Structures are given as C-alpha cells and as structure tokens.
Amino acid sequence: MLELGKGFTFVKRQYPLTINNVHYHVDLVFYHRILKCFVLIDLKKNSVQHEDIGQMNMYMGYFAIEENMPDDNPPIGIILSKNKDELLVEYATYGMDSNLFVSKYELYLPNRKELEKLVKDILDDEEN
C-alpha cells in the first residue's frame, strides 16, 4: 500500500456498512490525512458498469453522512477494474465540484498509472 503515497492511512479491507437492512462491503477504505477525507476503493474483475458507479456513489453518501467528522471533506471513490484487455480507473466524486477535484485532490492522489499497477498487483495476488 506504500505505492499510494504520502498521507494515506489504511482503515479496513471489506469495510461493512448496512443501508436499509441491506449489507454491503467497501473493498478498501483509507483515510487521507492531507486531504482530510476518506478514500473508498472498489475492485472489479470485469468492466465497470453504471451500477458500479451508482453503488460507489451510495457508499460515498453513506460515508459523508455517517462516518465523516464535521471538518472532513467529502469522500473520494475510486473504482478499479480489470477486464481482459485493459485496466480502467474511474473516480467517483459524490457531492464534489469536479474543478476542485482536479485542482486540489489530484495533487495528492496516485495517478492513473499508479492505480492501474496497484489493481493489477492486488488482482494478481487474489488469483494466486
């Protein structure tokens, strides 16, 4: 996890949450000390579907309401997927101005290449 860079603190793998008596698990949860926000990572073995983005936005809404402290920034969601030909990284930005994300948050988050390497390593470890 050191590949993620400075400021990341690991919170939990398979973070459980319950919404309307339905149980969900966020694959990886970090807290970024510099950005003062949770970073939620969802790993997909197949291509990202619109349902995956909706699910991530639901997770982010949950964290914004239930887990954030009053001075925390909105959570960031990252969907990492590996289909047979390519890796895909999607950022979900629930309740966040996309200009703010580009100007501030991208400075402290791993770039797409770093995230692609991370998901490849994680998925390769799971297959072995």
Angle at 83 between CA 64 and CA 124, to 5 degrees: 85
Residue 72: is it exposed, middle or buried by C-beta count within 10 angstroms (0-12/13-18/19+)? Answer: middle
Q: Which residues pair with 8 in a beta bridge?
A: 32
For the chain, the domains span 2-127
- For the 2-127 domain, the top CATH level (class) is alpha beta
Contact 9, 33 (CB under 8 A): yes
If pLDDT is split at 50, 70 and 90, which confidence band does 31 have? Answer: very high
Chain segment 42-87, per-residue pLDDT in tens = 888 777 777 888 888 899 999 999 999 999 988 888 887 766 445 5
